Amino acid sequence: MTNRKNRLRVLQVSLLVLGLLILYFTYSKKDLDQKNVIISKQTQDKIEKKLLDKIEDEDVFYNISYIGLDASGNRYILKAKEATNDKKENDKISLRIVEATFYMKDDTVLKVFSDEGIYNNKTLDMIFEKNVKAFYEESELFAEKAEFSNSKSFLTISKKVRLNDKKGSLFADKLLFDVKKQNLNIIAFENNKVNANINLK
């Protein structure tokens, strides 16, 4: 009787261990398979090909600076944390984390910052996009886009334009800053009104 009980216990323990091993290997293999197959081989090949094409078509530079003179004779320094040169359009350079400083002839300084930008190394035109900030004397300007046309000596600021000055604040569709004459033109909102708070003191 005792022999039979011992055999039954051994058999039960063996079956239990066997069952646990089957469960362990079944579910651990399934987890490994799921972890390994996140992206199909075909998708991986497509991504790899796109990355290789992009690497072949572009040159990437870090911490770059361009120094020059604009058409009005003002000196400028354009800096970026990252610059990408497209080999197909090698005159246009895409920029990330951009800072531009314009030294005017009257010794004033205009500084422009943005998250992204484009510099045309033939025309010397510049585009600043996303989170644009500009500082000129005691004025602060915020927008989503700013374009500097070298040939026209104009800085066009657009998209959610806000200007803060000691004299007050202003919201408009577009601001045109004439670099030669150093004056500012305001283009109104669609309802032909400019929102402004002016301090008359």
Q: Which of 49, 83, 48 shows the shortest CA–CA distance to 64?
A: 83
Q: Which of 161, 157, 135 shows the shortest CA–CA distance to 148?
A: 157
Q: What is the DSSP letter of 39?
A: S
Does the pLDDT value for residue 199 go beyond 50? no
Distance between CA atoms of 119 and 75, rounded to whole angstroms? Answer: 16
25 vs 73: which has the higher pLDDT: 73
Predicted pLDDT of residue 99:
92
Distance between CA atoms of 185 and 198, rounded to whole angstroms? Answer: 17
Does the pLDDT value for residue 32 go beyond 70? no
194 vs 115: which has the higher pLDDT: 115
With cut-offs at 50, 70 and 90, classify the pLDDT of residue 90: confident
Q: Average the pLDDT over 153-169 and give the result.
A: 79
Predicted pLDDT of residue 38:
64
Does the pLDDT value for residue 58 go beyond 60? yes
* pTM value > 0.85: no
Predicted pLDDT of residue 113:
92
Average pLDDT taken over every residue of the chain: 76
DSSP letters along 63-128, please?
A: EEEEEEE-TTS-EEEEEEEEEEEESTTTTEEEEEEEEEEEE-TTS-EEEEEEEEEEEETTT--EEE
Distance between CA atoms of 2 and 59, rounded to whole angstroms? Answer: 82
- pLDDT tens digits along 116-133: 998 888 888 888 999 988
